[in-house]
Amino acid sequence: MSSAFWLGLDIGGANIKASHPSGVSRTMPFELWKHPEDLPRSLASLLKGLPEAHGLAVTMTAELCDCYATKEEGVNDVLNAVEQVARHREVWIWGIDGRFHKPAVIREEPRRAAAANWLALAILAARLAPRGPAILIDIGSTTTDLIPIQDGRPIPRGRTDTQRLQTGELVYAGVRRTPVATLATELRHRGVPTGLTSETFATTADLYLALGETEEDPSDLGTADGRPLTLEATRDRLARMIGADRSEFSLDDARELAREADHALMDRLVTVAKRCCFGQIGRPRTAIVAGQGEFLARRLALRLLASDGQIISLREAWGETASAAGCAYAVMRLAIESLSDPPRTSDPPTR
């Protein structure tokens, strides 16, 4: 079939992403929980100007937003928005069973589509490690996925978010939106253990800017206090984490506190990764690193792999634009492989 048939859509609570077989991918920040009624308009804006496609392959995590009373309500709201912008396009929805389904099927069983995007990414990325035990480490702005792989196939123990949080295959910590107060109860400041304020004064976006892992972006106002993502504003936000302000908290203090918080996050990720993977596959030989926090995923991989282990960058394997919209790209590729042209069966087999 024509590889241009399917456009992949990944609809999250903080970002929506699209990927086209031509190599064009887009990511749009969209805080859905604040304005769920704007989802159709935002999807239309994301799709505007993309090359034509005859079908939409959709995955989602937006249903967990607290603007929805239940996941069922969220899934159906996302479906309504997709069908509104689809117009003449065919629509298929990716499920946690590793299959595509028509919207009517998902409306009958909404939880089948809830938070399924990680599985599409894992299935496609696992092919980069066709032999032996491996782990996919995908660190995004909000969450980390730790997926054990054996001989090129993901072998997760959990499927739903709750199950995956229990197994450790999902960790609610990322490199942008995670509040610093969730990483530790105290951190060292000028060598002294210091309790943290239990407020969302600063997030991991501040940590990795202070540490030089990311760059300043004065136009980015999606910070804890709505001020720009600059070093000076980051210093202010981190100072508040220990009840201080800029008059008594230097940039060196900010970097020290950021290092301490980063160590706490890394220790947590190492512990969880060992728990979720070592019992399944033993020590992995390969780590596939991905996501906005690939720099952190690489460091985690070095803590997990043997000295002769291999690290594979999804950005290098798939390219910058495809990896940035990883789940949208994956669901697009799986749709090309799994769905006929035009689709005719209700539930095509999983890959």
Query: What are 58-86's pLDDT values in tens digits?
Result: 999 999 999 999 999 999 999 999 999 99
Per-residue confidence (pLDDT) for residue 306, from 0 to 100: 87
Per-residue confidence (pLDDT) for residue 279, from 0 to 100: 84
How many contiguous H segments (helices) and E segments (strands) does the chain have? 12, 14
Evaluate if residue 280 carries a pLDDT over 80: yes
Rounded to 5, what percent of the chain is helix, strand, coil? Answer: 40, 20, 40
**Whole-number Cα distances in Å, 252 to 247, 257, 263, 303:** 13, 9, 17, 27
Beta carbons within 8 Å of 287's beta carbon, 6+ residues apart: 134, 135, 136, 137, 297, 300, 301, 304, 305, 309, 310, 311, 312
Residue 236, Cβ density class (10 Å: 0-12 exposed, 13-18 middle, ≥19 buried)? buried
Evaluate if residue 31 carries a pLDDT over 80: yes
Half-sphere exposure of 4 (CA within 13 A, CB side): 6
Residue with tokens 């990720």: 269
Provide the pLDDT confidence category of residue 49 given band limits of 50, 70 and 90. Answer: confident
Note the CATH architecture for domain 6-118+322-338. Answer: 2-Layer Sandwich (3.30)
Residue with tokens 């999807």: 43
Q: How far apart are CA 3 and CA 330, in angstroms?
A: 13
Secondary structure (DSSP) of 169-206? SEES--SSSSBGGGT-SEEEETTEEEEPPSS-S-BHHH
- φ, ψ of residue 25 to 5 degrees: the values are -135, 150
Tell me if 134 sits within 8 A of 264, measured CB to CB: no
Q: pLDDT, tens digit, for every residue of 239-265?
A: 999 999 999 999 999 999 999 999 999
Q: pLDDT, tens digit, for every residue of 120-167?
A: 999 999 999 999 999 999 999 999 999 999 999 999 999 999 999 999
Per-residue confidence (pLDDT) for residue 4, from 0 to 100: 55
The tokens describing 182, both together, are 């969730």
Evaluate if residue 316 carries a pLDDT over 80: yes
Q: How far apart are CA 171 and CA 166, in angstroms?
A: 9
Say how many residues make up the chain.
351
Annotated domain spans of the chain: 6-118+322-338, 130-284
Cis peptide before 342 (omega within 30 of 0): yes
Name the helix (H) or strand (E) containing 93. Answer: strand 90-94
Tell me the whole-structure pTM to 2 decimals.
0.92
Q: pLDDT averaged over the chain?
A: 93
Annotation: CATH topology of 130-284: Nucleotidyltransferase; domain 5 (3.30.420)
DSSP class of residue 218 equals: T
Side chain identity at 73, as an amino acid letter? E
- φ, ψ of residue 197 to 5 degrees: the values are -70, 135
Per-residue confidence (pLDDT) for residue 277, from 0 to 100: 84
Residue with tokens 């490690």: 129
3-class DSSP assignment, residue 279: helix
Provide the pLDDT confidence category of residue 341 given band limits of 50, 70 and 90. Answer: low
Evaluate if residue 195 carries a pLDDT over 70: yes
Q: How far apart are CA 50 and CA 332, in angstroms?
A: 14
Q: How far apart are CA 231 and CA 234, in angstroms?
A: 5
Per-residue confidence (pLDDT) for residue 351, from 0 to 100: 38
Phi-psi region of 247 (alpha: psi -120 to 50; beta: other; left: phi over 0): alpha
Q: How far apart are CA 94 and CA 10, in angstroms?
A: 10
Per-residue confidence (pLDDT) for residue 307, from 0 to 100: 87
Tell me if 229 sits within 8 A of 216, measured CB to CB: yes
Alpha helices of the chain — where are they, by DSSP H? 39-47, 71-86, 103-108, 117-125, 161-167, 204-210, 231-240, 251-281, 294-304, 314-318, 320-324, 326-338
Topology agreement, domain 6-118+322-338 and domain 130-284? yes
Listed residue (301, 335, 339) closest to 129, CA to CA: 301
